[in-house]
């Protein structure tokens, strides 16, 4: 299902986003950053991985680290269900999976419907956000996927990359 906002706008003034939920919050990620959305599958835990890294998955021969957005955003943990999805995205040249409670659909939102990020949105610091978009009566928190990881977390993820390479070799 696709929601198109302001049909009279030209495409260069619209952002296309994958809409998904984590807890009670609705999020959007730039569709150009998303490689695919898959059902949750077996996640292989990695020893000494950062707390926000649930482990890795094998996606057609590629080993991809999976981040738990609930953990990342300090939300209460929940069991994975039938609607749980992994959003596989390109984050600074690497594939990263992010667990969302459910993925809704592709939405288009015009730039004039996007407000600058507040200091906190749904308990999430503005550093991770591009803004907040209003679609109908719903607010969608727009994630800045390239800022989702801090410098220290990127260093930690690089260590996971090394472990990943060892997994591939075996």
pLDDT at 146 (0 to 100): 81
- Show the 3-state SS of 35-67: EEEEECCCCECCCCCCCCEEEEEEECCEEEEEE
For residue 1, how far is the Cα from the chain centroid?
19
CATH, residue 134 = 2.40.50.180
pLDDT tens for each residue of the chain, 170 residues long: 333 333 443 445 888 999 999 888 899 999 999 999 999 988 998 887 777 788 899 998 888 999 988 887 778 888 888 999 999 998 888 889 999 999 988 999 888 888 887 765 555 666 778 888 888 888 888 888 887 776 667 667 666 665 555 555 55
- Domain count of the chain? 1
**Residue 21: helix, strand or coil by DSSP?**
strand
Strand-pairing partners, residue 103, are: 20
Domain encompassing residue 150? 2-169
Query: Each residue of 135-155: b (16+ CB within 10 Å) or e?
Result: beeeebbbbbbeebbeeeeee
Instruction: Kindly compute the dihedral angle of the four CA atoms of residues 39, 42, 44, 50, in this order, to the nearest 10 degrees.
Output: 40
Instruction: At 6, list the tokens.
Output: 């302001």
Please state, in angstroms and rounded to a whole number, the distance separating the CA atoms of residues 37 and 25.
Answer: 18
With CA atoms as reference, report the closest residue to 135 among 8, 19, 9.
19
């Amino acid at each position: 299902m696709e929601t198109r906002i302001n049909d009279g706008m030209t495409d260069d003034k619209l952002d296309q986003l994958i809409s998904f939920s984590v807890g009670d919050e609705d999020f959007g990620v730039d569709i150009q950053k998303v490689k695919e959305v898959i059902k949750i599958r077996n996640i292989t835990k990695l020893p000494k991985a950062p707390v926000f890294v649930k482990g890795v998955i094998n996606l057609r021969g590629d080993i991809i680290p999976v981040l738990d957005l609930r953990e990342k955003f300090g939300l209460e943990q929940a069991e994975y269900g039938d609607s749980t999805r992994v959003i596989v995205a390109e984050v600074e040249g690497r594939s990263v999976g992010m667990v969302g409670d459910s993925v809704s659909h592709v939405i288009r939102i015009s730039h004039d419907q996007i407000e600058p990020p507040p200091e906190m949105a749904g308990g999430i610091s503005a550093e991770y956000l591009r803004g907040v978009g209003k679609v109908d009566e719903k607010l969608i928190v727009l994630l800045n996927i390239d800022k989702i990881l801090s410098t220290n977390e990127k260093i930690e993820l690089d260590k996971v990359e090394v472990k990943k390479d060892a997994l591939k070799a075996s």
